[in-house]
Structure 1
Amino acid sequence: MNYRKANWEDINKMVELRKKQLIDEGIEPTVDIDKELYDFFQNKLSDGSLIQWLVEEEEEIIATGAIIIYEFPPSYTNKSGRKAYITNMYTREAYRGQGLATRLLTKLVDEAKHLEITNMWLGASKLGRPVYKRFGFQETNEWLELNL
């Protein structure tokens, strides 16, 4: 398996994976969101606020995970003001249970630490919640959070 960061050439594949993820989470595809997803990935990759990792096997993307970097006003508990939101965590069904999500989370945490980000958060699906909790994320009223 090959782990690598996503680039411009991956945007169409990222759009398809995101749609597959939403459907697997039980969300019905009632509208066409291809253009919106394409624009989102293009904009976020361009401004550097999206770091997305891909896992490939035989040139097929089998898993993915990303962080979106947000800037908030600096505080005493977060001097930089930056936080990372974990999103697009998805593993194709045939590859689940092999630790891919945990390895992707490790890469995303390493990215955040390199950027001196001290807080990460996410909204977890029922399927993903146990993975994040084992990794060390703590539940809050609305999110799961990890202080680095």
Structure 2
Amino acid sequence: MSLPDGFTLRSATLVDAETIQAQRDAMFADIGSGLEQIQAVSASSLTWLRRTLASGAYHGLLLEHGGQIVAGAGAQWQEFQPSPKSPSSVRAYLDNVYVAPQQRGQGLAGQLVRALLAECLARGVDLVSLHASDAGRATYTRLGFKPTPELRLLFAEAGL
């Protein structure tokens, strides 16, 4: 993988949890979540990030430019019962894909996702999923992601 000049890629560590959370909050703001909604879950999300970074259940990647973190993405390693389509018991869920506005349009999100997919292959993961914003959908489609027929029930929306 060749990054644009001046960019470096590194794995996130526990000390990066606040930065990842700030990127996550900005990502949700970009896709239209209300500030109140974002603030309501930010602290618990940060606690989750710290725990999963420490345990290895979350693998984050960060891109730096000029000594500043300008983009990031992560993979959650999830245990699932093997199936005919996915004989591995570990699957990956990609999330927190974020590029700072001033760095967008350089293919950085695609670079991050390709690096995470390489990590997935190295770990023997054979099924990777994610949820895409409208802005990110083309990036994921170019990388081979396909829509699925997954159904979801969110209790708060269903009135249950």
Q: Secondary structure at the match of 1:52?
A: strand
Q: Contact 1:123/1:142 (CA < 8 Å) preserved in 2?
A: no
Unaligned runs of 5+ in 2: 1-6, 152-160
Q: TM-score, normalised by structure 1?
A: 0.90
Match of 2:107 among 71, 95, 99: 99
Q: For the structure 1 residues 140 and 36, does the alpha-carbon distance in structure 2 shift closer, same or farther, using more than 3 Å as the test? A: same
Stretch deviating more after TM superposition (52-61 or 71-80): 71-80
| Alignment-derived partner of residue 33 in structure 1 | 41
Which position in structure 1 is the counterpart of 2:124? 116
- Partners of 2:56 and 2:140 lie apart in 1 by 25
2:20 — aligned with what? Answer: 14
TM-score (norm 2): 0.84
Letter in 1 for 2:141: K
Higher relative contact order (CA 8 A, sep 6+): 2
Deviation of the 1:80 alpha carbon = 2.2
Identity score, percent: 29
Deviation, 1:68, is: 0.5
Counterpart residue number, 2:83: 75
Structure 2 Cα separation of the partners of residues 33 and 63 of structure 1: 21
RMSD of aligned alpha carbons? 1.5
Question: In the alignment, which residue of structure 1 is the partner of 2:143?
Answer: 135
C-alpha separation in 2, matches of 1:101 and 1:34: 22
For the residues of structure 2 that align with 1:142 and 1:61, how far apart are their CA atoms? 34
Query: Which amino acid is 1:8 matched to?
Result: L
Q: Give the Cα–Cα distance (whole angstroms) in 1 for the partners of residues 128 and 149 of structure 2.
A: 15
Larger radius of gyration: 2
Question: How many equivalent residue pairs?
Answer: 143
Distance in 2 separating the partners of 1:137 and 1:45 = 25
Bigger fraction of residues in strand: 1
